[in-house]
Each structure stands twice: as C-alpha cells, then as structure tokens.
Amino acid sequence: GAVVSQHPSWVICKSGTSVKIECRSLDFQATTMFWYRQFPKQSLMLMATSNEGSKATYEQGVEKDKFLINHASLTLSTLTVTSAHPEDSSFYICSARRGIGRVSYEQYFGPGTRLTVT
Amino acid sequence: AQKVTQAQTEISVVEKEDVTLDCVYETRDTTYYLFWYKQPPSGELVFLIRRNSFDEQNEISGRYSWNFQKSTSSFNFTITASQVVDSAVYFCALSEASGNSGGGADGLTFGKGTHLIIQP
C-alpha cells in the first residue's frame, strides 16, 4: 500500500508554454501533498504544501503565480508550470501524507517528473 | 528555521568496507521527525527510516544501522559490509510537526546529500 504516482514521468516543452504535472495517491487519501524540486546534482527543495480544498502554501522564493497548485480531491494534486522557461527545467517530485493530525508523519514520494524546457 | 547538514559530499569505499554517513540537524521544535532516503540514478526516492524526536533508540535493519543522538543533534547512518548495490545518493531529512499542514508533519527539509560510491 501507500503508492503515489506522477504523470507524466518526463516531459519536454517549448519555452513559453505551460505544463501540468499530476500527483495521485493510489490507495490512500491524502489531505496534504507536498511538491519538491530537484536540480541536477542538488538536493530536493520544498516548493509548496498543498492542502485539499484550500490554497497552497508556498515556500519563500517560490512564485505562486508561476507554479500553480490545485488539490481538488483527496487523491489528486496538480502542479502547473506556467510560461515555462529553460531555468524551470528540473526534476519535480511530489509526496503525499496519509492521514490527518499529529499522527500523520508518513510521507510517500512519487517517482518524479523530469521537465525539460527548450 | 530548520536545517540539515550532510558535510560529506562524496564517499568512495571498496566493497565490504563499513561506511558511515553523517547528518547534523537544527530545529527549534521539540517534536520533529528525521528521515534517511536513498536516491539511485533513476531518481526515485527510497525510504529507509524515520525517527521521531522522542525516540532516541538506535536501530538496526540488516546491514543498515542508525545512531540518533539528540545531545549532538546528529542522526548518522552506517552501512556494514557495503555492497556495490548500495551506491547511490543518500539524503538525510527533517520534518517539524507544526506549521502549514494541519498539525501533522510538515514538508521535509533535506540535506545536500552524500554520494556514496562502492567500488567492487
């Protein structure tokens, strides 16, 4: 159990276009999902926290108008990179937290989406 | 603000040697969680262990062991009798139980990772 999927696994897009990445918890409900970004040979950086039915909370330095997050259901969160540019090329990883409240510390990571903007 | 430091950027050892990966963390919270993840070249994170701040017991799982010491804010990871398949990037991470996510654990703060190379 506790499987998280991401779609697509990789995508190449042209500069100026928008790209949507989906994160799904397949066998559990996730009231909270997290989005991370990882540049080549670097660490993962938390971008935003996504709570079902409410606005996402973005980390300092992350442009909320550029990285649109929607968490419309308990099993799906989407990240849309708007007007993508080559510097947005990165590995985007989501995680889903099972359960609610203080007992919910387990986060299950998706396999990641590699975005290349040409 | 929380911080995780993995001072070792890269470690290279010969197969069957023991190797320890260091992790030092900073947090103001009294309740927090510490993690280790393995990231092979495919990129997918592999969960290794979670420890909460109230549980300082060391843990052993096969060839893997973890040493959690609150007094030094460290959570080190040792691989005994290393194997080539252990080659990967290993991340230590910290999550506080506060903030934006309804009372549960927050998003993770990762260290920069240690690239472990096991030579045959």
User: What is d(CA A45, CA A59) in angstroms, rounded to the nearest whole number?
Assistant: 9
What was the pLDDT predicted at B18?
98
Whether residues B102 and A101 touch (CB distance < 8 A) is answered with yes
What was the pLDDT predicted at B114?
98
Instruction: Map residue B71 onto helix, strand or coil.
Output: helix
Residue A18 has a CB neighbour count (10 Å cut-off) of 12
Q: pLDDT digit string (tens) for B50-73?
A: 998 988 888 899 999 999 999 999
Judging contacts by C-beta atoms under 8 Å, the chain A residues touching residue B102 are 31-32, 51, 100-101
Looking at residues B61-88, what average pLDDT do you find?
96
Q: Give, in degrees to the nearest 5, the angle at Cα B47 between B49 and B99.
A: 80
Q: pLDDT digit string (tens) for B12-58?
A: 999 999 999 999 999 998 889 999 999 999 899 999 999 989 888 88
Lowest mean pLDDT across A64-68, B30-34, B80-84: B30-34
**In this structure, are residues A21 and A84 in contact, taking their beta carbons and an 8 Å threshold?**
no
Looking at residues A26-50, what average pLDDT do you find?
93
Looking at residues A5-29, what average pLDDT do you find?
96
User: What is d(CA B94, CA B3) in angstroms, rounded to the nearest whole number?
Assistant: 8
Judging contacts by C-beta atoms under 8 Å, the chain B residues touching residue A32 are 101-102, 104
Give residue A100's pLDDT band: very low, low, confident or very high (50, 70, 90). low
Looking at residues B111-119, what average pLDDT do you find?
97
Among B31, B44, B104, the residue with its CB nearest the CB of A104 is B104
User: What is d(CA A86, CA B119) in angstroms, rounded to the nearest whole number?
Assistant: 36
